[in-house]
């Protein structure tokens, strides 16, 4: 498939960790990102609520003539991707916590999966564990404070370190040698997490694999490399936080407010 423009969505800024990987791999592709910060976090919401929000955003992205949509959100993928594929013809690339690569990499036979409460509760997640984590002990841990902090652009400091200890100490004590970042917000805390976890623990996230998948579906990326970023949330906050997350000058990254009506 030749593609000019790809839509990317998440509950907030987290999916920008996936956008970053797609941009690195496909510099000419036009990207249209929607962060649903007005409804963030998705991680505490029901399947019905997640599907409702994601459906609205997909409808809006389709008015922007995207040829493929990336669900840069594990929670949205786990709860909505099968439903979306049944009702829309546009192709979707979803993402799920890297239980499979983690199970292949572990030597201790214990892995930790950091993901949202919604992801961990999802049936699709249970199927993933049953089909890929044979003989491996999977310790799951929701990390809601990580999402709150990343949404505010807080990537390091004492509050971040305390939260990392709170969420990972028991995983390390139980012998995990691989930790999966199973929510797209978490890779923005990767450096802080790396500093706190023992060197013997491998950290896995699946953003790069998603970018590879997008590249393999689009044999040709023929856009002009434009990046449009829209949020349903606080535009002023986004204009401060997004340049920090993407390590780009604010002037190069003006975000736009997506007014709720246009996403109906
Ligand atoms: N970034 C999202 C994920 O990958 C969800 C974070 C949230 O809204 O709770 O699951």
Render pLDDT for 53-80 as a digit per residue (tens, 0 to 9): 999 999 999 999 999 999 999 999 999 9
pLDDT in tens, 24-55: 999 999 999 999 999 999 999 999 999 999 99
Span from the CA of 106 to the centroid of ligand 1 (angstroms): 25
The share of the chain scoring above pLDDT 90, in percent, equals: 91
Whether the CB of 41 sits within 6 Å of ligand 1:
yes
Q: Which domains does the chain have, with CATH numbers?
A: 5-95+208-263 (3.40.50.1860), 99-205 (3.40.50.1860)
Q: Determine the distance separating the centroid of ligand 1 and the alpha carbon of 130, expressed in angstroms.
A: 22
Partners of 256 in the beta sheet? 230
Q: In angstroms, rounded to a whole number, what is the distance separating the alpha carbons of residues 207 and 216? A: 14
Collapsing DSSP to helix, strand or coil, 18 comes out as helix
Q: Which atom of ligand 1 is nearest to the CA of 72?
A: 4
Ligand 1 atom closest to residue 185's alpha carbon, by position in its atom list: 1
Which residues does 195 contact at the CB level (< 8 Å), separation at least 6?
Answer: none
Please give the C-alpha separations between residue 44 and each of 74, 132, 180, 205, in angstroms, as whole numbers: 13, 25, 19, 21
- The pLDDT score that the predictor gives to residue 139 is 98
Q: Kindly report the protein residue whose alpha carbon is nearest to atom 8 of ligand 1.
A: 41
Query: In 3-state terms, what secondary structure has residue 249?
Result: coil
Q: Which of 13, 20, 42, 98 to mutate to test the pocket of ligand 1 (most atoms within 8 A of CB)?
A: 42
- Mean pLDDT, the chain, whole residue set: 95
DSSP secondary structure letter of residue 221: E
Report the C-alpha gap between 242 and 80 in whole angstroms. Answer: 26
Report whether pLDDT(8) > 90.
yes
Q: Is 94 in the pocket of ligand 1 (CB under 6 A)?
A: no
pLDDT at residue 262 in the model: 58
**Which tokens hold the place of 212?**
């590879």
pLDDT (0 to 100) of residue 251: 72
CB 258 within 8 A of CB 230: yes
- Regarding the beta carbon of 74 and ligand 1, being less than 6 Å apart is answered yes
**What's this model's pTM, rounded to 2 decimal places?**
0.96
Rounded Cα distance between 116 and 120, Å, is: 6
Place of tokens 């902090």: 149
Q: Is ligand 1 within 6 A of the CB of residue 73?
A: yes
- pLDDT 10s digits, 224-238: 999 999 999 999 999
pLDDT of residue 1: 73
Catalytic residues: 73, 183
- Judge if the upstream peptide bond of residue 41 is cis by omega within 30 degrees of 0: yes
In the prediction, which pLDDT does 263 show?
55
CA distances from 18 to 14, 181, 206 (A): 8, 12, 9
42 pocket-lining for ligand 1 (C-beta < 6 Å): yes
Could you tell me if the CB of 40 is within 6 A of ligand 1?
yes
- Residue to mutate, 120, 184, 189, 245, ligand 1, most ligand atoms under 8 Å from C-beta: 184
């Amino acid at each position: 498939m030749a593609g000019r423009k790809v839509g990317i969505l998440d509950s907030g800024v987290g999916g920008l960790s996936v956008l970053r990987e797609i941009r690195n791999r496909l510099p000419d592709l036009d990207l249209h990102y929607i962060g649903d910060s007005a409804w963030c976090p998705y991680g505490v919401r029901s399947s019905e609520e997640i599907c409702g929000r994601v459906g609205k955003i997909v409808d809006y992205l389709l008015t922007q003539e995207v040829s493929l949509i990336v669900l840069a959100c594990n929670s949205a993928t786990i709860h909505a991707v099968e439903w979306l594929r049944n009702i829309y013809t546009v192709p979707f690339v979803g993402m799920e916590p890297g239980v499979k690569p983690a199970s292949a990499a572990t030597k201790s036979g214990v892995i930790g999966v950091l993901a949202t409460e919604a992801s961990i509760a999802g049936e699709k997640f249970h199927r993933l564990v049953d089909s890929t984590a044979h003989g491996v002990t999977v310790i799951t841990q929701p990390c809601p404070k990580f999402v709150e902090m990343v949404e505010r652009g807080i990537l390091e400091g004492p509050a971040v370190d305390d939260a990392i200890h709170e969420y990972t100490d028991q995983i390390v004590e139980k012998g995990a040698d691989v930790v999966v970042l199973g929510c797209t917000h978490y890779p923005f805390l990767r450096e802080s997490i790396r500093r706190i976890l023992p060197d013997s623990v491998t950290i896995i996230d699946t953003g790069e694999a998603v970018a590879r998948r997008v590249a393999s579906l689009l044999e040709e990326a023929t856009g002009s490399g434009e990046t449009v970023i829209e949020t349903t949330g606080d535009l002023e906050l986004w204009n401060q936080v997004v340049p920090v997350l993407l390590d780009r000058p604010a002037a190069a990254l003006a975000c736009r407010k997506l007014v709720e009506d246009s996403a109906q």
